[in-house]
Chains A and B, each alone.
Chain A
């Protein structure tokens, strides 16, 4: 009797245990499937021997966005690098089935896509569907830089990045905004305090370390690994652009503080000069960009950008810098064709080259050529009447994009050092009298041009 009892008890307990275990399993599955299908897709991935998880996730994602009519394009540098090698083949057979999974199956943590903000109606529906499909998503928002330059507007926060995660793979969706100056901008990826820092390995992301500026790309619809995606028409061009796309925002807050101290000049002359300087800069940028000559804002124009986000009204000219390695003989004829005759040419390609073009009504365009040494960069100056040479020394710098008077232009990334080298520690104080031979704090006397070379190195028109 006792034995039976015990057995019954035992059986009962076993049964309960079984029920509980089944229940637990059910719960476990339910809970997980709501989050993502990690366990199951992993299994599938390992079965096929390749990381098809990625492929599946990308396919799901493309399905998701096409069901919401959101045009995205692929900007993943690793895939674009592979695609670029086979670009001819891919272009010629846009619909052909691919024999093997070549691009979307390399095991990676991320695949990166871009979204043009203006083509997207911000609707919540997308995220609901994404959740239903088993994606976890993260939105990174920040202040709208397009309103940052303006006094006292409560800049609305705009989405800069989205991350859709499923199983072991994540889609990084970078939101590109159109900005004044006819270019695209994406924001930096900065996590706010409460955000899950381990959501994905953020450090491995290809975009978001810095904000970036890009030209509007032409797109191409291709089919790779049996997935239809849009890619930049010229992948290698895009990758090139990406490698130095870093964007610097103007220091609007500091500029406002500057104008508090030194109220802006709103006289008719100042307004007129700014207008002319702006159109001269636009014309110069157009001309140099057409030639493919890289340039940046230098001297007073750079100071104006850095200090007050505007043209300094009493500066009377526009200054650009160009590396001597980018010099092209076509520069002078191109400017002449654009209606800017050469005013003077000092120095020669080998040494201290400087070009000046005559803009409208006395506004002058100066192009200084910069020579790179091991530990510094310099440009030269020449005094016409005496043939004296000067040298202006700068610490080494790289170039960043910025927006200035509705133009996407380069400035030295290390702007502060650059401006300080040129204008000294008191660059924040406006100076109306400026002597280019003695005022700059980085000027060095550099000898005199030999008299027999004068005809060549001092040309005034």
Chain B
């Protein structure tokens, strides 16, 4: 290119004038003229050729450059899971699906995309979504439809899958016990003949296209209640479509790029990926005035439940006063899909190699996440700790902003938690009310850095101790008599049904009816009265004005509390010493609140609401508030049922 530089602008003119000048002089010298002409022609031809070459070269160079910079840009694009089956020319996929009591697998073109033969795990209906154009796996789920409500989750999921995707179903162990008609109808609408008649311990496999043809279905009936159906193996062929059915023309922007990346990789998030009016992935909630927690890091502890994480992050990012810059999602394991969800929302995510098993694994993950959080935000005094299966209330940060100074100033505090263990629909009433409790509820809480760095981190349970981190934190050696601040109405909602210590029954009994605040900007009242000494004054005042209930009645009966509103009532139960919770547990049971262990107590006092009245329960004589008991009143004693129920949280 260099040698051409001197030429460009001048050459043609010079040539022309040279030609004109010499034309007449050399008119008669024919031979010379001819030579010149030939020379000029040759020269011009060379110019043309070189020019063409140059243009081609430049174009190629520019193209390469473009490609290179594009690569820089979309570095991650290249990491997108390459379809395991290069399908450029292939039109047909061989699909094998196996269903049995102890093992399921799915193979696509000879590659195993699902294999689960772990014992006591993966029960229920496994669902795999394939891209109908490329054949690569877009989502993998298992719904334990042996347990309640899992079928609802499955319906939700299936509804979110785009039309045209290929769906593969297979049952491991049992998948019909809590598969209700709604779910069966959805399966039927996908083309399954057998689904409506699926019953106890049947084996079943099904491959079909959403809203389209059925590629195959196999079913083995269980002969008797005590035995399982024979294993079934379905082999079928799936025809790929040439063009990706969904190709939304989103304008090229950062947000849409994130969305595009996400939607090209995963499935099952419904309208996030629809072309028309996709669900927003940026929320811009109102900022908080005088937000004291704007610079407090938020650690989201996650595992491999991407749909949960998606729901959780949506609610978190919609909460007023949220600062996305401070959020880090810690994923326990190298799972891709949760990371995709994190990136969809433009947050930062960190993956953690699982250490140890079960409870200890969770506990090690917590430790790593907390340490990392304080490393990443070295000047933070606190960290907000959330889990992936929580909904976050719209005023979550407002609640923390109003109360966090207590954690800084009051040494007798252990944490601030968004969760009230006893705050059920029928026992919580006042969004502006806070309590002090001796237990650590977790489920959305604030941890003080000094507590973590000086006390907890150095002696955190090691991987070989199979302890629950939260149980460990509740132990007296750690808690050292300190208390947590909680709201009457929880600022988080625990929606997780699948989990290490969680299943549908358990969730229905203890979490489903939990009250969750939906009112924005609640002004908390009497925050200052939550300090150690002020709180005692407050309790004494409350007990002073409380009306003593009729202790001859049965406290479990509704009529025990008069049909009033806004009154304060007190009842006294027997509590021989500090750790005697016999009567309380029975009372909690019949009030349908948390009864698996003791939560929400403060010096032998429980505070909750009944029929919109503040309802205080004092344990006599262990509680220091026993002095408030009129001498005429005999504390109520409730006997535990003869046979112990072995339920443990």
A interface residues (Cβ-Cβ under 8 A, vs B): 6, 9-10, 13-14, 16-18, 20-21, 23-25, 27-28, 31, 34-35, 121, 123-125, 139, 144, 146-147, 149-156, 178-182, 266, 268, 271, 274-275, 406
Residues of chain B within 8 A of A14, CB atoms compared? 12, 15-16, 44
Contacts A35-B65, A152-B353, A154-B351 given; does A21 touch B378 at CB 8 Å? no
Give the CA-CA distance A144 to B378 in the complex, in Å. 14
**Contact sample, A vs B, 10 pairs, CB 8 Å cutoff:** A17-B48, A150-B375, A151-B355, A153-B350, A153-B352, A154-B351, A156-B349, A181-B378, A266-B459, A406-B453
Chain A's closest residue to B66 (CB) is: A34
**A34 CA / B573 CA spacing, docked (Å):** 82
Question: Could you tell me if B44 and A27 are in contact, using CB atoms closer than 8 angstroms?
Answer: no
Q: Is the CB of A146 within 8 A of B375?
A: yes
Q: Is the CB of A153 within 8 A of B372?
A: yes
The answer on a CB contact under 8 Å between B44 and A182 is no
Interface pair B37/A10, CB less than 8 Å apart: yes
**A123: which B residues are within 8 A, CB to CB?**
254
Q: In the complex where A16-B48, A21-B7, A152-B355 touch, is A147 in contact with B376 (Cβ < 8 A)?
A: yes
Residues of the A chain whose Cβ atoms lie less than 8 Å from the Cβ of B11: 17, 21
CB distance from A126 to the nearest CB of B (A): 11
Confirm or deny: B113 has a beta carbon within 8 angstroms of a beta carbon on chain A. no
Which of the segments B52-60, B104-112, B211-219 contacts the partner chain?
B52-60
Q: Cβ of A24 and Cβ of B51 under 8 Å apart?
A: yes
Query: Which of A24, A147, A152, A156 contacts B375 (CB under 8 A)?
Result: A147
Q: Which of B328-386 contact A (CB under 8 A)?
A: 334, 348-353, 355, 368, 371-372, 374-376, 378-379
Query: Within 8 Å of chain A (Cβ to Cβ): is B454?
Result: yes
**B41 interface neighbour in A13, A28, A146, Cβ under 8 Å:** A13
Across the interface, do A23 and B351 meet the contact criterion of CB distance under 8 Å? Answer: no
Distance in Å from the Cβ of B6 to the closest Cβ of chain A? 12
Q: A14-B16, A154-B353, A156-B348 are in contact. Are A27 and B65 (CB under 8 A)?
A: no
- B646 is an interface residue with CB less than 8 A from chain A: no
| Interface contact B375-A149, CB-CB below 8 Å | yes
Residues of A within 8 A of B86 (CB): none
Q: A13-B45, A14-B15, A24-B8 are in contact. Are A180 and B374 (CB under 8 A)?
A: yes
CA distance A6 to B62 in the complex (A): 38
Contact residues of A: prevailing secondary structure: helix
Alpha-carbon separation in the docked complex, A20 to B40 (Å): 16
Residue of A nearest to B460 (CB): A266
Residue of A whose beta carbon sits closest to that of B339: A154
Q: Give the shortest distance, in Å, between B478 (CB) and chain A (any CB).
A: 12
- The reply on B462 being an interface residue by CB < 8 A is yes
With A153-B368, A156-B350 as contacts: A20 and B355 at CB distance below 8 Å: no
User: With an 8 A cutoff between CB atoms, is B325 at the interface?
Assistant: yes
- Point out the residue from B16, B47, B351, B368 that lies within 8 Å of A150, measured CB to CB: B368
Asked if B458 is at the interface of the complex by the 8 Å CB criterion, the answer is: yes
> A23 with B55: in contact, given A146-B375, A153-B368, A266-B462 (CB under 8 Å)?
yes
In the complex, the answer to whether B372 meets A17 with C-beta atoms within 8 Å is: no
Known A20-B52, A154-B351, A182-B379; contact A31-B58, beta-carbon cutoff 8 A:
yes
Write the nearest CB–CB distance from B221 to chain A, whole angstroms: 46
Q: In the bound complex, do residue A125 and residue B58 qualify as a contact, i.e. CB atoms below 8 Å apart?
A: no
Nearest A residue to B34, CB-CB: A6
Does B642 lie at the interface of the complex (its beta carbon under 8 Å from any beta carbon of A)? no
Q: How far is the CA of A155 from the CA of B352 in the complex (A)?
A: 9
Q: Are B51 and A275 in contact (CB under 8 A)?
A: no
Q: Is the CB of B375 within 8 A of A180?
A: yes
Q: Select which of A17, A34, A35, A155 is within 8 A of B44 by beta carbon.
A: A17
Known: A24-B54, A146-B375, A274-B458. Contact between A31 and B62, CB under 8 A? yes
Cα of A139 to Cα of B374 in the assembled complex, Å: 26
CB B377 to nearest CB in A, in angstroms, measures 8
- Cβ of B15 and Cβ of A147 under 8 Å apart? no
Evaluate contact between A20 and B352: CB separation under 8 angstroms.
Answer: no
Label chain B's interface by main secondary structure. Answer: helix
- If A24-B8, A266-B459 touch, whether A147 touches B350 (CB-CB below 8 Å) is yes
Q: Is the CB–CB distance between B334 and A20 below 8 Å?
A: no
Q: Are A25 and B8 in contact (CB under 8 A)?
A: yes
C-alpha spacing A25/B62, complex, angstroms: 15
Tell me whether B225 is interfacial, beta carbon within 8 Å.
no
A32→B434 CA distance, assembly (Å): 66
Cα of A23 to Cα of B353 in the assembled complex, Å: 58
CB-contact partner of A25 in B9, B334, B375, B376, under 8 A: B9
B12 neighbours in A (Cβ, 8 Å): 14, 17-18, 21
Q: Shortest CB–CB separation between residue A321 and chain B, in angstroms? A: 26
Q: Is the CB of A13 within 8 A of B44?
A: yes
Taken together as a complex, chains A and B put the C-alpha atoms of A27 and B352 apart, in Å, by 51
Q: How far is the CA of A151 from the CA of B371 in the complex (A)?
A: 11
Highest count of chain B CB atoms <10 Å: which of A144, A152, A179: A152
Most chain B CB inside 10 Å of its own CB: which residue of A17, A27, A271 = A17
CB-based nearest B residue for A19 = B51
**Chain A residue nearest to B375 in the complex (CB):** A146
Residue of A nearest to B349 (CB): A156
Complex contacts, B15 vs chain A, CB 8 Å: 14
Residues of A within 8 A of B325 (CB): 121
Interfacial chain B residues near A17, Cβ < 8 Å: 11-12, 44, 47-48, 51
Please, which residue of chain B has its CB at the minimum distance from the CB of A144?
B376
Q: Nearest CB to that of A124 among chain B residues?
A: B254
Which chain B residues lie closer than 8 Å to A155 at the CB level?
Answer: 350
Is the pair A179, B378 in contact by a Cβ cutoff of 8 Å? yes
Pairwise interchain contact B372-A150, C-beta atoms closer than 8 A: yes
For B462, what are the chain A residues with a Cβ–Cβ distance below 8 Å? 266
Complex Cα–Cα for A17 and B379 (A): 68
Determine the chain A residues whose CB is within 8 A of the CB of B348 once the complex forms. 156
Inter-chain CA distance A455–B117, complex, in Å, is 80
Interface residues of B in 446-472 (CB under 8 A from A): 453-454, 458-459, 462
In whole angstroms, how far apart are the Cα atoms of A35 and B69 in the complex? 11
In the A-B complex, the 10 residue pairs with the smallest Cβ-Cβ separation, listed nearest first, are A152-B353, A20-B51, A13-B44, A180-B378, A154-B351, A146-B375, A271-B458, A18-B12, A17-B47, A17-B44
* Complex Cα gap A292–B504 (Å): 64
Closest Cβ of chain B to A196, distance in Å, is 9
A365 to chain B: closest CB distance in Å? 20
Looking across the interface, which residue of chain B has its beta carbon closest to that of A183?
A: B378
The interface bits of chain B over 421-450 (1 if a CB of A lies within 8 angstroms of the residue's CB, else 0) are 000000000000000000000000000000
- The answer for the CA separation of A366 and B254 in the assembled complex, in Å, is 56
Please name all residues of chain A whose beta carbon is closer than 8 Å to the beta carbon of B58 when the two chains form the complex. Answer: 27-28, 31
Contacts of A156 in B (CB 8 A): 348-350
CB distance from A173 to the nearest CB of B (A): 16
List 10 extra interface pairs beyond A20-B47, A153-B351, CB under 8 A: A14-B44, A16-B48, A24-B51, A27-B55, A31-B58, A146-B372, A146-B376, A153-B353, A180-B375, A182-B379
- Shortest CB–CB separation between residue A256 and chain B, in angstroms? 12
With contacts A14-B44, A28-B58 known, is A21 near B52, CB below 8 A?
no
| Smallest Cβ-Cβ distance to B457: which chain A residue | A271
Min CB–CB distance B302 → chain A (angstroms) = 14
**Cα distance, A252 to B88, chains bound together (Å):** 46
Chain A residues whose CB sits within 8 angstroms of the CB of B376 once the complex forms: 144, 146-147
- Nearest chain-B residue to A145 (Cβ)? B375
Interface string of B146-157 (1 = CB under 8 A from A): 000000000000
Q: B46-81, CB under 8 A of A: which get 1 and which 0?
A: 011001101100110110010000001000000000
* Cα distance, A151 to B375, chains bound together (Å): 13
Which of chain A's residues have a CB closer than 8 A to the CB of B19?
10
Closest to A22 in B: B8
* Distance in angstroms between the alpha carbons of A30 and B355 in the assembled complex: 56
Is B372 in contact with A21, judged by CB distance below 8 angstroms? no
Minimum distance in angstroms from B161 CB to a CB of chain A? 30
Per the bound structure, the CA–CA distance linking A152 and B364 in Å amounts to 11
Residue of B nearest to A138 (CB): B72
CA distance A144 to B55 in the complex (A): 45
Assess the B45–A21 pair: CB atoms within 8 A.
no
Partner of B51 from A21, A125, A180, A406 at Cβ < 8 Å = A21
Q: Which residues of B contact A179 (CB under 8 A)?
A: 375, 378
